[in-house]
Amino acid sequence: MKLFIKFMVSLRCKLLVRDELEKLGHHPLKVSLGEVVLANDMNTEQLKQLEASLLKSGLELMDDENAILIKKIKSIIIEMVHYSEELPKGNFSEFLCEKLNFEYDYLAGQFSHVTGVTIEHYIIAHKIERAKDLLIYDKLSLTEISYILNYSSVAHLSYQFKKVTGLTPTFFKKIKLHKHNTQKKV
Is the CB of residue 21 less than 8 Å from the CB of residue 13?
no
User: In the chain, what are the domains?
Assistant: 2-63 (3.30.70.100), 67-180 (1.10.10.60)
Give the whole-angstrom CA distance, residue 26 versus residue 30: 12
Q: pTM to 2 decimals?
A: 0.66
Confidence of residue 29 (pLDDT cuts 50, 70, 90): confident
| CA-based nearest residue to 123, from 143, 107, 144 | 107
Q: What is the pLDDT of residues 50-101, one digit of tens each?
A: 888 888 887 777 666 777 788 889 989 998 898 877 677 778 889 899 989 9
